[in-house]
Structure 1
């Protein structure tokens, strides 16, 4: 039976009535970390600076939301494809009124009224913009300017903050406080930028079955190469009129240039010349069209995601913010938490794109400090809240696709041999480092491959096991088989065998021919793999929509049910942290996941009745 708005009242009755204690003005520590390795404290925070605080309120009905998500995403469940509405999801993500009231009262004691507050659609996030001096008073803390030694990026952070004791059950997290992760395009996600020679003349005889591939695809990946490799028939054209849509997220002032896109279309997709993408600004994000300011990441993403899926309606989102923070400018530029900003925006939209690609991430870095074992540089409290936001989109029928990272099993260093991957507890223990948000169980993580006949896992393909999130049930069979086949003692103590495993799938990630600032260049990284796979998802959504079926939504429970829809990659490994990393092998592996997509098989599998 479909979950409807009329069935929501019982959820509101789930509220637990908390006895309001006498308000103890004495604060108690809510979250605390050791100073993270690789960051240097530079100075006290400038007193005139304005900071934007995000306060996450508990979501008591999230287990119910998660249950609905898995039911509508499980092809064997009677509710498969019956995605929830925006209102239904918001009701399930909402905090108790008790929490809303107590937090509002606390803010009021600091002269922060309702007009000073921005609430998320589900009212589970409260955002306020206040002077740093007030933030320090409210949180009983001191902010400092910290500089990242390797990059020079600076941020405002603290290593501990406190709240009145009675508020602890009503606030999950407040950021920016203890989050020191550097949100990045994986540093090596654009793995190389080389001048690309002219394409050789076509000499292959593509059958769209993978039997014969244009030999030029061994060195240069084009739209045609991906269609051949992944069995997209040359005569398959998706419809522009069935409500299908695809999106690409952009961050860190990486701009998608329309002139470069037209050059790319003329080169590889001539029927698309004259068409373009919708541009959506998030929190003032820009998309500067000065050709000299075009971003390689953004150009790569839109050219291949939208080129593969043309003429599906396409959107490029640009979320504002760029490090480093300049401490003498009175602007809140140091929050560096764009996933939350983008989530606030996209969750407020009635019709978000049905498939969305993101090629940015953070190390799921950790500090080993007593119990619990892991204390994260991306605090687990924040990561879980962002992941819960992704679950909300999945329940509404949106497929979220993320690059798995470019550090192999390591920390993103371009050279696997020099990756340190050390804990920050003084013991300097080596640990594998998975990527977030790829490690969120409610998104699809895409690893990288290279070469053709055979296609192999590329060395930088991010893979491993989360230290934040437990392995979801949809992975138990495939990942359990992989782990049981590992020789006893392999990488013992270096990874969490019970964690959510990544990647889920893979796609080509080397030698992508794009136009950047008017020039042809060759680029690589799992940032190429994610838009490629997302383009295939958009084509599969077209198949479903034209068959009168709903979009795919959260992909993973289906994907692990139909491994026969993927080209199994059995060669390659992903070195890092002084090791050779995991090996690609038969079935799922921590280099290429289930493998690369075979569209001709998947198009039948995604509309099959299970």
Structure 2
């Protein structure tokens, strides 16, 4: 068994660029401060324990607005829409960076503001095409002046954990149209320390399955989704990426045993490891989630090469809610910072993670979503599990202090630039009750899904009126089996359930379709949704029964066509193969 390892630190993907090179505008009144965000009281169970020690510094991240606001969105639609002449003309890393770059005036203005407060340009680095700045080693006293803030140390009740935050911050009036957000500032997220999984036997969980159920394996899935006869041929060009967070490491020995038992034709399965943010990757401590994702993408798409992103840390910004009072969200921003800095990125990337959308500050969620869009413009298909809470866990109360009950969508599954995967069960298939789905409270409905969503609303009527946002992005987009998955963990059999099972299965199918496209010298599928909501929608097995209860309701029901439980349904590889897009030939020049 062989695996290969490469270490990447986010800091290495950030290029230091002095801002003095940008045009410096005439300085405005830096004392004309207008509030950007402020809490009326200290959030939740936090308490102030006073000022930080003299000499304490803080690293600030500043998100700048792009010069051309709609350039990235327009480009994604062009290169991802099979009906557009530019379909498949994906951009390079450098071309995307130019699309999202802030105006030189913005850079010059921000540099002047920082310099006014004594911050050297050598303490400022840029990333994501220059629309994120990282300002390192800022004295807290300077940060207070810079942001009209009052940074203090806060402690969460009943713990010894402290964080440096402010209950409010402001920006000079001249910067409000140029700066999206500054972090860390007003979001109080208590770090949830990841626990390493002890190595050793964990017992067989056969009781998790009914005696009437057939355990799910790659053989069953490949037969169910009609991909048994396809043999990948473009292994030198195609690759799948699997994301792992929270100390979840994919085990190479477990993968070898899994493939021996359930994909016996596979020889020497392996994967590249990229360590991001000092994750501490150690295959001697495999995790069930990471093993599930790696074993089933390999089980579906072997021998397509795989890369495992082992990502350390927690979400950079967080808002607690009643179900999730402490920060257990994933550091999507840090992960994407590293990925976008790479020249070569896998054509398919899958992640079985996410959290209540309301626990991600809206500006943070939008910034992360835009980065997924950048990958889409480069020809990458991003798939996320839709979540396992139906329409919402627990009391489903809004975390804005109003205690209003509403369905709780899951981010990043709600991002319009990713493909969200829900869950099914049984044969013939029905919706799995755990399958999260619904409608975003942050992202507007994208044009590509208007007809499908309106078709669902015609069947829904007034049911659940007021519990969801009818004008926003609906999810999931597609689905796959989600219960009774057999995995190998520490040389033992375990059973898994959730859309964490569904997402890698669909990712494997998409990777096989990309393999075929490459074998025909066609562009890979890239951002999937315009194709899925178009000609590919008839390439899925429509799921018309079952629902996703939650929040004290029966949730939404699976119906003919698209629905916010199973999307368009489960994939049929051969039917999708027949519906693969062929780029429109360029017109022949005439004399």
Q: Following the alignment from structure 1 to structure 2, what is the Cα–Cα distance between the partners of residues 199 and 579?
A: 25
Query: Residues 130 and 496 (structure 1 numbering): CA distance in 2 closer, same or farther, change over 3 Å?
Result: same
Given the alignment of the two structures, is residue 601 of structure 1 paired with residue 554 of structure 2, yes or no? no
Given the alignment of the two structures, is residue 41 of structure 1 paired with residue 34 of structure 2, yes or no? no
In the alignment, which residue of structure 1 is the partner of 2:67?
60
Deviations along 1:378-414, one digit per CA (max 9) or x if unpaired, are 222221111111111101100011111111111xx3x
Taking structure 1 as the reference length, what is the TM-score of the superposition? 0.82
Q: Following the alignment from structure 2 to structure 1, what is the Cα–Cα distance between the partners of residues 158 and 558?
A: 32
Question: Could you say what secondary structure the match of 2:129 adopts?
Answer: coil
Residue 108 of structure 1: how far off its partner (Å):
2.8
Which runs of 5 or more residues in structure 1 are unaligned? 1-16, 188-192, 201-214, 326-333, 366-376, 414-418
Could you tell me whether the CA contact under 8 Å between 1:73 and 1:555 is conserved in 2? yes
Given the alignment of the two structures, is residue 250 of structure 1 paired with residue 244 of structure 2, yes or no? yes
In the alignment, which residue of structure 1 is the partner of 2:15?
none
Q: Following the alignment from structure 1 to structure 2, what is the Cα–Cα distance between the partners of residues 537 and 261?
A: 21
Given the alignment of the two structures, is residue 431 of structure 1 paired with residue 406 of structure 2, yes or no? yes
In the alignment, which residue of structure 2 is the partner of 1:5?
none
In the alignment, which residue of structure 1 is the partner of 2:588?
none
Question: Could you say what secondary structure the match of 1:122 adopts?
Answer: helix
Q: Following the alignment from structure 1 to structure 2, what is the Cα–Cα distance between the partners of residues 118 and 450?
A: 48
Aligned counterpart in structure 2 of residue 482 of structure 1, from 443, 449, 456 = 456
Aligned counterpart in structure 2 of residue 160 of structure 1, from 158, 168, 171 = 168
Given the alignment of the two structures, is residue 31 of structure 1 paired with residue 37 of structure 2, yes or no? yes
Q: Following the alignment from structure 2 to structure 1, what is the Cα–Cα distance between the partners of residues 191 and 69?
A: 26
In the alignment, which residue of structure 2 is the partner of 1:517?
490
Query: Residues 270 and 167 (structure 1 numbering): CA distance in 2 closer, same or farther, change over 3 Å?
Result: same
Query: Residues 37 and 231 (structure 1 numbering): CA distance in 2 closer, same or farther, change over 3 Å?
Result: farther
Given the alignment of the two structures, is residue 223 of structure 1 paired with residue 215 of structure 2, yes or no? no
Residue 197 of structure 1: how far off its partner (Å):
4.3
In the alignment, which residue of structure 1 is the partner of 2:119?
112
Instruction: Give the number of aligned pairs.
Output: 544
Residue 114 of structure 1: how far off its partner (Å):
3.1
Could you tell me whether the CA contact under 8 Å between 1:27 and 1:165 is conserved in 2? yes
Given the alignment of the two structures, is residue 303 of structure 1 paired with residue 277 of structure 2, yes or no? no
Residue 602 of structure 1: how far off its partner (Å):
0.5
Q: Following the alignment from structure 1 to structure 2, what is the Cα–Cα distance between the partners of residues 431 and 486?
A: 17
In the alignment, which residue of structure 2 is the partner of 1:536?
509
Q: Following the alignment from structure 1 to structure 2, what is the Cα–Cα distance between the partners of residues 81 and 464?
A: 30
Could you tell me whether the CA contact under 8 Å between 1:447 and 1:463 is conserved in 2? yes
Q: Following the alignment from structure 1 to structure 2, what is the Cα–Cα distance between the partners of residues 537 and 232?
A: 11
Could you tell me whether the CA contact under 8 Å between 1:178 and 1:379 is conserved in 2? no
Given the alignment of the two structures, is residue 585 of structure 1 paired with residue 564 of structure 2, yes or no? no
Query: Residues 245 and 217 (structure 1 numbering): CA distance in 2 closer, same or farther, change over 3 Å?
Result: farther
Aligned counterpart in structure 1 of residue 264 of structure 2, from 267, 270, 276 = 270
Given the alignment of the two structures, is residue 239 of structure 1 paired with residue 247 of structure 2, yes or no? no
Query: Residues 429 and 132 (structure 1 numbering): CA distance in 2 closer, same or farther, change over 3 Å?
Result: farther
In the alignment, which residue of structure 1 is the partner of 2:337?
344
Correspondence list, 1:300-339, <5 A: 300-322=292-314, 338-339=331-332
Q: Following the alignment from structure 1 to structure 2, what is the Cα–Cα distance between the partners of residues 308 and 112?
A: 52
Given the alignment of the two structures, is residue 573 of structure 1 paired with residue 547 of structure 2, yes or no? yes
Query: Residues 551 and 170 (structure 1 numbering): CA distance in 2 closer, same or farther, change over 3 Å?
Result: same
Q: Following the alignment from structure 1 to structure 2, what is the Cα–Cα distance between the partners of residues 152 and 324?
A: 20
Question: What root-mean-square deviation, in Å, do the aligned CA atoms of Structure 1 and Structure 2 show?
Answer: 3.2
Q: Following the alignment from structure 2 to structure 1, what is the Cα–Cα distance between the partners of residues 183 and 241?
A: 27
Q: Following the alignment from structure 1 to structure 2, what is the Cα–Cα distance between the partners of residues 545 and 403?
A: 26
Query: Residues 173 and 262 (structure 1 numbering): CA distance in 2 closer, same or farther, change over 3 Å?
Result: same
Q: Following the alignment from structure 2 to structure 1, what is the Cα–Cα distance between the partners of residues 158 and 351?
A: 24
Aligned counterpart in structure 1 of residue 351 of structure 2, from 355, 358, 369 = 358
Q: Following the alignment from structure 2 to structure 1, what is the Cα–Cα distance between the partners of residues 424 and 160?
A: 32
Deviations along 1:169-203, one digit per CA (max 9) or x if unpaired, are 22111122234578999x9xxxxx98244999xxx
Could you tell me whether the CA contact under 8 Å between 2:126 and 2:133 is conserved in 1? yes
Residue 604 of structure 1: how far off its partner (Å):
1.5
Could you tell me whether the CA contact under 8 Å between 1:253 and 1:286 is conserved in 2? yes
Question: Could you say what secondary structure the match of 1:172 adopts?
Answer: strand
Aligned counterpart in structure 2 of residue 139 of structure 1, from 147, 159, 165 = 147
Q: Following the alignment from structure 1 to structure 2, what is the Cα–Cα distance between the partners of residues 87 and 162?
A: 33
Q: Following the alignment from structure 2 to structure 1, what is the Cα–Cα distance between the partners of residues 207 and 403?
A: 48
Deviations along 1:259-309, one digit per CA (max 9) or x if unpaired, are 21112121212333423110112232331122xx22221111111112211
In the alignment, which residue of structure 1 is the partner of 2:380?
398
Q: Following the alignment from structure 1 to structure 2, what is the Cα–Cα distance between the partners of residues 82 and 472?
A: 21
Residue 447 of structure 1: how far off its partner (Å):
0.8
Correspondence list, 1:168-247, <5 A: 168-180=176-188, 195-197=204-206, 218-233=213-228, 235-247=229-241
Taking structure 2 as the reference length, what is the TM-score of the superposition? 0.85
Deviations along 1:46-85, one digit per CA (max 9) or x if unpaired, are 5476544221111131412211110111111122111122
Query: Residues 81 and 36 (structure 1 numbering): CA distance in 2 closer, same or farther, change over 3 Å?
Result: farther
Q: Following the alignment from structure 1 to structure 2, what is the Cα–Cα distance between the partners of residues 182 and 267?
A: 42
Deviations along 1:67-122, one digit per CA (max 9) or x if unpaired, are 11101111111221111222211111100111112222323344433332231141
Could you tell me whether the CA contact under 8 Å between 1:458 and 1:509 is conserved in 2? yes
Query: Residues 346 and 427 (structure 1 numbering): CA distance in 2 closer, same or farther, change over 3 Å?
Result: closer
